Amino acid sequence: MNEGIRELLKQIPSMEILLSQPWVTAYEEKVGRPAVKGVFSDIIGEIRKSLLEGSTPTIDIDRICIEAKTRLSRHSSRSLKPVVNATGVVIHTNLGRSCLCASAVEAVMECSSAYSTLEYDLSTGERGHRNSHVEWLLCQVTGADAAVVVNNNAGAVILSLAALGSGREAIVSRGELVEIGGSFRIPDIMSISGTRLVEVGTTNRTHLEDYARAVTEDTSLILKVHPSNFRVVGFRSEAAREDLAALAREKDLVFMEDLGSGFLLDAEAFGLRGESSVRDCVLAGVDLVTFSGDKMLGGPQAGVIAGRSQIVERLRKHPLMRALRPDKMTLAALEATLRKVLEGNSREIPTLAMISAQPEGLLQKARQVSRQLKKKFPDFSFSTTTVQDAVGGGSYPEIPLPGFAVAISHPVFSSGHLQKRLRESEFPVIASAREGVVLLHVRTLRDGDVARIGSALRGISSGTGVASDGAS
């Protein structure tokens, strides 16, 4: 180490000096003294590393303190927080997917703040089973003989494959070997579960004969996978579920389908076509169907496995079941959501209400929001415009939802600047942009969101000297 670097290292303020800064006390009360000290240590360590690598960073106590304040401020506030979803994407994967209905929220609050009957049978006074709270409900809405719930649909697929196909073969069409967000690849999942993949057909065409020819003594199941956002159009064909079910019965195999989003209701009634419901799959003869609880069901994150009782029983007894089981809050929310479906009040579930919202109602809502904001923020321009919304979550990618949005512009600020400032507001507003304007898709706006948007706009105005004539 040369003398110059040694001298620069000596200029780094001591930990004692840094911790004695008057502003430090406030952060120590929020995150604790060791955490504050750790942040300073990280910054000092970065400076030392830069010096030793030949860089010459400016060593200044004020700069160190500014960087420490930035990091501590970020660490001192909640990271997981609610936002306004003004994107028009109903099941927004990055924004937490589905919002729970009121009864589900109430059920979660009750069960999380008190002891519960999670694994206690009130009729016998003995230990019960957590799955019993939702199994009967799931059987009613899916038409299946039995059902179990795990923490998410990826877990449902892994458990099913591990219990039914470990050490044996599973036949899958090449057109269904997809990767679904977050590197969830079907071949990798099968490998992890110990199931040997047998590919049949081609990317665009797979026939029943392809499956039949691939069956051997080592085959345990036929697996059908929902392609999520991936689609092949044009010259394509696939084997019908009913035919695959018949083949599975003939060869004494399990026919399993990963349905992904898992709509429980009649999709046609919601203006959606081209997808099958869970009940459709069960009626077609699928032995085991896996699907998500937080997509088209509109409930909490969960993976549901519904099907024939003899097969589901094998899953219950598998060691992975304990590792993947859901917690009490998930089950409380799922039970409340399923009861809404069974009661026929599915439109009280936010996800289903948003998907089924009609263009006329959305136009009226957009005009109302535009008028409200225009009265309070005359320096911004507001108008209504047509947009394409989306179901999201890998569901119905080919069926855009016609919608309306409030377009916001400003004579000084660019749409990118407005987007950023909305996103950084105390209650973040996540919006889209198009042709120089910010778009607030009204389909996904919830009660209270207009006031939150107004608060964000007021913050933008007051922070830049732009006049605002009132609070939201």
The two tokens of residue 233 are 């159009």
Predicted local confidence at residue 270, as pLDDT: 74
Domain boundaries, the chain: 3-76, 84-91+354-462, 100-348
Distance CA 123, CA 374 (A): 60
Question: What pLDDT is stored for residue 398 in this prediction?
Answer: 63
DSSP at 100: P
Report in angstroms the alpha-carbon separations of 25 from 15, 19, 31, 195.
14, 8, 10, 56
Provide the residue type at 30 as one letter: K
Residues 37, 229: Cα–Cα separation, whole Å: 46
**What is residue 13's predicted lDDT score, i.e. its pLDDT?**
92
Angle at 306 (CA atoms; ends 123, 308), nearest 5 degrees: 90
d(CA 93, CA 80): 14
Q: What is the pLDDT of residue 465?
A: 41
Between CA 158 and CA 166, with CA 164 as vertex, the angle to 5 degrees is 75
Q: Which residue has the tokens 């392809």?
A: 210
Radius of gyration, CA atoms only, the chain: 28
Would you state the structure tokens that stand for residue 55, as one six-digit string? Answer: 């860089």
Residues with Cβ within 8 Å of 356's Cβ and at least 6 positions away in sequence, in order, are: 269, 270, 271, 347
What does the buried/exposed string (b/e) look like for 345-359 if buried means 16 or more CB atoms within 10 Å of the residue's CB? ebebbbbbbbbbbee
> DSSP character for 271?
T
What is the C-alpha separation between 255 and 350, in angstroms, rounded?
33
Q: What is the dihedral of CA 274, 278, 279, 284, to 10 degrees?
A: 70
Query: How many angstroms separate the CA atoms of 100 and 106, rounded?
Result: 10
Instruction: Going residue by residue through the chain, which has 472 residues, state the pLDDT in tens, using 9 for 90 and above.
Output: 577 788 888 889 999 999 999 999 999 999 999 999 999 999 999 999 998 888 877 788 999 999 999 999 999 988 899 999 999 999 999 999 999 999 999 999 999 999 999 999 999 999 999 999 999 999 999 999 999 999 999 999 999 999 999 999 999 999 888 877 666 788 888 999 999 999 999 988 999 999 999 999 999 999 999 876 666 666 778 899 999 999 999 999 999 999 988 788 777 777 777 678 899 999 999 999 999 999 989 999 999 999 999 999 999 999 999 999 999 999 999 999 999 999 999 989 999 999 999 999 999 999 999 999 999 999 999 999 999 999 987 766 667 899 999 999 999 999 999 999 999 999 999 999 999 999 999 999 999 999 999 999 999 987 654 433 333 3
Closest C-alpha among 164, 168, 185 to residue 176: 185
The one-letter amino acid code at 101 reads C
Q: Which CATH number describes the domain made up of 100-348?
A: 3.40.640.10
- Fold entry, domain 84-91+354-462: Aspartate Aminotransferase, domain 1 (3.90.1150)
The pLDDT value given to residue 380: 95
Exposed e or buried b for every residue in 194-221, given b needs 16+ CB within 10 A? ebbbbbbbeeeebbeebbbebbeeebbb
Terminal-residue alpha carbon distance, the chain: 60
The confidence score (pLDDT) of residue 9 equals: 86
Crossing angle of helices 449-462/415-423, nearest 10°? 110
The string of pLDDT tens digits covering residues 81-120 is: 999 999 999 999 999 999 999 999 999 999 999 999 999 9
Three-class secondary structure of residue 89 per DSSP = strand
One fold for 84-91+354-462 and 100-348: no
Bridge partner list, 184: 180
Write out pLDDT tens, residues 205-247. Answer: 999 999 999 999 999 999 999 876 666 666 778 899 999 999 9
**Contact present, 389 and 89 (Cβ < 8 Å):** yes
